[in-house]
Structure 1
Amino acid sequence: MTLLADLGVAVALFASTNLDDVFVLIGFFSDPRYRPRQVAIGQVLGISALVLAALASALLSVMLAPAWLGLMGLVPVALGVRGLLTHRKDEEDDAVTGTASIGNALAVAGVTIANGGDNIGVYTPVFATSPGPRLVLFVAVFAVMVALWLALARWLVHHPALGSPIRRIGRVATPVVLIGIGVMVLAEAGTLSLIIGRAVP
């Protein structure tokens, strides 16, 4: 492949596997309990974990069973339930301490990982068949794309015309969306069947 072709593949690879992540980021940016820095750090940590997992799978030619990976779907479900339970609290109750700041960043990372379980399956064969220089290029492009994703989501939240309704709707809709993502991950990965199968003799 030429450099231009490799760039195109890297951009298409990231965009196709993270398109829905923009909406998740919009939800987090709309929630006053999450600071922009926390969302950015969490997104970077989440994408980094997915890329590292895919690289490890490619190098070791070993992949986790999708059903076990699907257990990550419990993270957005838990966050969504928490969001619904705390929705009516005053914003003063949401003051961010140093510990909460780390927790929020990890929460964003957890949702990113759970929502990106398919990323590993897509990235692994591409990484496994790519030479070192191409892998470096892919990682660099992914880093730039993460920044663009964050900028796009934040821009939409603060858009003069779209920002106000997005923030208003986002605070209410985000918990529901997170629960939906979690259930979808659990179902598509076969985790629900795994849990039911182990629970029922």
Structure 2
Amino acid sequence: MARIVEADRTERPQRPERTERTLDASPALIAIATAAYVSTNVDGYALLLGFFSNERYRAMEIVAGQFISVVTQVALSIAVMRSGWVTQSPLVGLAGVVPLFAGLKRIAQLRRRDEPQNESGTDRWTSARGTGGRVATVAVVATSGAIDNVMVYSSVMVGRATSDVLLIAGTFGLLTSLLCLCAFWTAGSRSSIPALQFAARRIAPYTTAAIGVSLFIRFDTFPWLYSLA
């Protein structure tokens, strides 16, 4: 009995250390999640500007649609992570081919497509009727080009504890609120919308391509491919 009591006393002080480590890791995890979200939503910001500048859409409809899109992306990311397909191996880095190819393709199209995003991106969706239809439209449009988001989010979540995944999801929710608020505030000054949309269209392809390269680097895919050559 004395040995059991002594063993319990030696084990109890170790518990606060685990909690302290988790708290210490939280700022770093939030920074990683923020970087992943920002890098994958530059073009989403331009899209939101187009919706907020469209008088047929109410602000709450746009915000609701954007949140549905983000929840869908996070759910898909968790499903990919839970499936076991995403693991810490060089083979996973090959997923970076998707955003890398998409980014390079859009960079190549920049010289041939200079029309404003508001004309080519959101005006074609003005036929949506009813609040539900407009919310669904925003959600579908925001999610349709988010395959790179899902791959990046799942790679950030892989190997994380459930509490860490919840923290990442909560960070995405907060950042989505800030993104919508920023787009709504910017849309109030219509004179700045074309310039911001133009800048976002120019930046987004490069950030998408950079995401692909970052996956190659994170999972040591480049050295692995070199070893196969």
TM-score range, shorter chain: 0.5 to 0.7
Structure 2 residue 35 is the aligned partner of structure 1 residue 19? yes
SS in 2 for 1:46: helix
Change (3 A) 1:187 1:5: closer
Matches within 5 A, 1:146-165: 146-159=172-185
Structure 2 partner of 1:123: 157
How many residue pairs end up in the alignment?
A: 184
Change (3 A) 1:9 1:190: closer
Matches within 5 A, 1:1-201: 1-2=18-19, 6=22, 9-10=25-26, 12-19=28-35, 21-22=37-38, 24-25=40-41, 27-31=43-47, 32=50, 35-57=62-84, 65-73=91-99, 74-77=101-104, 85=113, 87-88=115-116, 91=119, 94-96=123-125, 97=128, 101=138, 103-114=140-151, 116=152, 120=155, 122-127=156-161, 135=162, 137-159=163-185, 167-190=193-216
Change (3 A) 1:158 1:53: same
SS in 1 for 2:210: helix
- Tell me, in whole angstroms, the C-alpha distance in 2 between the residues paired with 1:41 and 1:109: 13
Q: TM-score, normalised by structure 2?
A: 0.56
- Tell me, in whole angstroms, the C-alpha distance in 2 between the residues paired with 1:61 and 1:161: 41
Structure 2 partner of 1:130: none
- Tell me, in whole angstroms, the C-alpha distance in 1 between the residues paired with 2:117 and 2:177: 29
- Tell me, in whole angstroms, the C-alpha distance in 2 between the residues paired with 1:86 and 1:38: 27
Shift of 1:164: 5.9
Give the unaligned 5+ runs of structure 1: 128-134
Range moving further from structure 2, 141-150 or 46-55: 46-55
- Tell me, in whole angstroms, the C-alpha distance in 2 between the residues paired with 1:19 and 1:165: 29
Over aligned residues, Cα RMSD in angstroms?
4.5
Identity %: 12
Which has more radius of gyration? Answer: 2
Change (3 A) 1:86 1:40: farther
Give the unaligned 5+ runs of structure 2: 1-17, 53-61
Shift of 1:143: 2.9
Shift of 1:174: 2.2
- Tell me, in whole angstroms, the C-alpha distance in 1 between the residues paired with 2:80 and 2:167: 17
Retained in 2: the 8 A contact 1:10–1:142? no
Change (3 A) 1:173 1:81: farther
Change (3 A) 1:91 1:185: closer
Retained in 2: the 8 A contact 1:38–1:101? yes
Q: TM-score, normalised by structure 1?
A: 0.62
AA paired with 1:85? R
